[in-house]
Structure 1
Amino acid sequence: MSVSTNLHLSVIGTGYLGATHAVCMAELGFDVVGVDVDPVRIRRLAGGEVPFFEPGLEELLRKHLESHRLRFTTSVADAAATADVHFICVGTPALPGADAADVSYIDAAVTGLVRGGIRPGTLVVGKSTVPVGTAMRLAGRLDAEASDVELAWNPEFLREGSAVDDTLCPDRLVFGLHPDPVRAGMARSVLRRVYAPLIDAGTPVVAADYATAELVKVAANAFLATKISFINAMAEICAVTGADVIDLSAALSYDSRIGGRFLRAGLGFGGGCLPKDIRAFQARVDELGAGPALAFLAEVDAVNSRCRTRTVALTTQLLGGTVTGRRIAVLGAAFKPNSDDIRDSPALDVASALHRAGAAVTVYDPAAIPNCRVSHPQLTYAANAVHAATGADILLHLTEWSEFRELEPAALTPLVADTVIVDGRNTLDPAAWRAAGWAYYALGRPARPASRW
């Protein structure tokens, strides 16, 4: 496989992953074309507008549109004719009515490249999260339908809210390569050229087979989900023993074998990746006949769901056993801070459940309200946290935006009907809220603080 001295890249799919990858590859100095079947999305990107919230991305997009390193098109044939390396960054959602991943968009991207006249000597690189076995199947397809085109798998590890840094300063690069050592060597050399600035900066590289590369992403997500659900399971135990899960977590975090990251109890995980990916992982392993190996993930998922129902139950209890007619202010709607993504949002799940139970729910989020208005028109939305809290019988903190940590509890006291707060993320300062006269509650924490040294 031969490539030009100055590599030209294409990115197939310009959703969250693809748009971020295209912009960041331009930042690394490559000429990049982004491709998508959605003409509206392409027009917005070509006009310098990122169609989702991601800190720092829009500035880089405009920078590289102006530098002419970056352009966007709906023509896969254009990309096939001009690029040396094609990154596939399309979605793999759950199949309708099932947990298994839908890889039809991956197949469609490969079909588009083949029919568009993909040039011999080019490299196709999958970045999407796929069921193990997908890469080998696609490599066989390219062998049959294209001439001298190689395939590699390079999974992404982006976190919404820090995707630019995660792309430009990753903690590792994983290259999934063909079992034939010669073909693997050619693909690896091209990937090393693409990522040369990152590798030269010290980013570790793991070169592996296709299956290992595919498993790295889903295994990482499964581990993180397990760690989050573990501490939330401990929060359930703390609730019935009177222990404090925050102190428990702090004590665990000093153990170097455990660490403190992803060990904060609260409302649990959500978003478009973690829940979907662990379920698809389970489904694929079931297909392979090794289902018992991941049986524990069903309980991980169940613990996560219980965080939401327990928050609704706590809120209902604090309001005297019913929420009918009560005014509830919800701070947060995105599934995590620094994002406008509301897919499988724990915050919106809780807000919607309380609305269905008869509460008057008002929601504020710094970035996600436009998306919420479309998907949850039944809820009321506020322009800021103060407006949301005004007249509320209870305040729920459900997405840990820094803006909410900076609220002055005393300033809200005269505005609310009752000074009760549920900290669904355990990131507020209980002492500050209690000092301002608020009754502070959180899952896995005693209603009253323990004495401190």
Structure 2
Amino acid sequence: MALKITVIGTGYLGATHAAAMAELGFEVLGLDVVPEKIEMLQRGEVPMYEPGLEELLAKHVAGIEGSSGRLRFTMDWAEVAEFGDVHFVCVNTPQKHGEYACDMSYVDAAFASLAPHLTGPALVVGKSTVPVGSAERLGRTLVGLAPAGEDVELAWNPEFLREGLAVQDTLHPDRIVAGVRSERAEKLLREVYATPLAEGTPFVVTDFPTAELVKTAANSFLATKISFINAMAEVCEAAGGDVVKLAEAIGYDDRIGKKFLRAGIGFGGGCLPKDIRAFMARAGELGADQALTFLREIDSINMRRRGQMVEMTREALGGGSFLGKRIAVLGATFKPDSDDVRDSPALNVAGQIHLQGGQVTVYDPKGMDNARRLFPTLAYAETAAEAVRGAHAVLHLTEWSEFRELDPAALGEAVTDRVVLDGRNALDPAVWRAAGWTYRAMGRPAA
């Protein structure tokens, strides 16, 4: 008999996972405790921008004309427990207020709510990013609270979604990690992921602690690579070098590779910053804090980039006050192809300049509503052309393809001064200079 799958938590991760499971041919029931979220999903809408996700939902959500009907949503824990053979827990683990550690309250609540309804054999699969050691504790919780006791098993199957590519990453992952304690749990996960496994996706079977560590280790490595090239940009600024050429040269070494070597204003979002901080906090609890002290410097380099962009802008305007200066900021999200503004370097820079007296106008192709909610005191424009009108400097802070395709000559007609600061090293300096702009990028003082 075909497996039935439930997805608990229908935020960014859960909504994507639920739609992808339906696409793989499973009957899927998604659960959330927020009625508004459930109502949106039942209409085939998502509360965030993710390319391809709404189309995938519309293809499978029951009640939508022409859909497969394989995907439904509920708020009823008993219905979820009765329906599912495999229950994926996809709830959020944000950073605790005032601490580095992650907040496990949503995960704990999900397990505590589901377990008492599990009266028969089931596999509960954690996908949330959690501190190492959590699965061991949650496994005991499951067995203790579930009427089926030992017949309820836990597995840990970390997610590796990239915002903007989440649908592709779920349907065609570059690896699947399964932290399991029995052949039955492994067999069930192999059945769930039969389609990508048939395509050749590697399946890595581990114990619980290793499975929990994979996501935080991967994110720590990526953060290290980004902060490394940004540290090199600081040296290039001091020495008169060109960090773009430096990155190109070292990127040809296949031990290093080209990816994640674009210097700029650093990383943000809901994963990398909070994951490396939670990793440091957990290492401290385990008595292994010295192993991760380098991550504190990675975090510091990353946060320093934002202040350096503000100072570079000040220098470009003559080195004085921002008072009376109009600044256009192109980009609000932490990365392109997303509407996520959590810990966004672009918005942080815009906010700092605004607090120092600058008149800041922001434009972003998808992140405007979220940006307005987070920074209501900034000005917002509906187009890039409107944002730059009268500007003394234009800051390119999120590398949307729309911004790379702008016409510098046309934009130049609207600004007060043709000064562009490229916080992502993604624009073509020659094209902008040919149109009469003063072009400046981080880590390229002489370029």
Q: TM-score range by the shorter chain?
A: over 0.9
Cα pair 1:77 1:112 within 8 Å, conserved: no
Structure 1 ranges of 4+ moved more than 3 A: none
Q: Which residue of 1 aligns with 2:122?
A: 122
Q: Which residue of 2 aligns with 1:75?
A: 76
Cα pair 2:362 2:380 within 8 Å, conserved: yes
Q: Does 1:218 align with 2:216?
A: yes
Query: How is 1:13-92 mapped onto 2 (pairs within 5 angstroms)?
Result: 13-65=9-61, 66-92=67-93
Residue aligned with 2:259, SS: coil
Residue-by-residue CA offset, 1:260-296 (whole Å, 9 max, x unaligned): 1001100100000100000000000000001000000
Residue-by-residue CA offset, 1:190-238 (whole Å, 9 max, x unaligned): 0000000010110001000000000000000000000000000000000
Q: Which residue of 2 aligns with 1:430?
A: 429
360-369 or 69-78, larger mean C-alpha shift: 69-78
After TM superposition, give the deviation of residue 317 of structure 1 in Å.
Answer: 1.0
Q: Distance in 2 between matches of 1:239 and 1:294?
A: 28
Cα pair 1:54 1:163 within 8 Å, conserved: yes
Residue aligned with 1:20, SS: helix
Q: Distance in 2 between matches of 1:151 and 1:345?
A: 35
Q: Distance in 1 between matches of 2:375 and 2:364?
A: 13
Q: Distance in 2 between matches of 1:33 and 1:125?
A: 15
Residue-by-residue CA offset, 1:32-51 (whole Å, 9 max, x unaligned): 11100000010001111111
After TM superposition, give the deviation of residue 325 of structure 1 in Å.
Answer: 1.4
After TM superposition, give the deviation of residue 355 of structure 1 in Å.
Answer: 0.2
Which of 250, 256, 259 is matched with 2:257 structurally? 259
Cα pair 2:124 2:154 within 8 Å, conserved: yes
Cα pair 1:131 1:281 within 8 Å, conserved: yes
After TM superposition, give the deviation of residue 330 of structure 1 in Å.
Answer: 0.2
Amino acid corresponding to residue 167 of structure 1 in structure 2? T
Q: Distance in 1 between matches of 2:274 and 2:220?
A: 10
- Percent identity reads 61
Q: Which residue of 2 aligns with 1:201?
A: 199
After TM superposition, give the deviation of residue 144 of structure 1 in Å.
Answer: 2.1
Q: Does 1:397 align with 2:396?
A: yes
Query: How is 1:77-226 mapped onto 2 (pairs within 5 angstroms)?
Result: 77-115=78-116, 117-146=117-146, 147=148, 148-178=151-181, 184-226=182-224
Amino acid corresponding to residue 285 of structure 1 in structure 2? A
Q: Distance in 2 between matches of 1:432 and 1:166?
A: 35
The gaps in structure 1 that reach 5 residues or longer are 179-183
Q: Distance in 2 between matches of 1:269 and 1:94?
A: 16
Residue aligned with 1:337, SS: coil
Q: Distance in 2 between matches of 1:344 and 1:141?
A: 33
Q: Distance in 1 between matches of 2:175 and 2:435?
A: 45
Alignment root-mean-square deviation, CA: 0.7
Q: Distance in 2 between matches of 1:26 and 1:87?
A: 13
Amino acid corresponding to residue 163 of structure 1 in structure 2? A
Residue-by-residue CA offset, 1:123-181 (whole Å, 9 max, x unaligned): 00000000000001111122222221010000000000000000011100000012xxx
Residue aligned with 2:417, SS: coil
Q: Distance in 1 between matches of 2:133 and 2:314?
A: 47
**Structure-2-length-normalised TM-score:** 0.97
Q: Distance in 1 between matches of 2:107 and 2:98?
A: 20
Q: Which residue of 2 aligns with 1:280?
A: 278
Cα pair 1:90 1:106 within 8 Å, conserved: yes
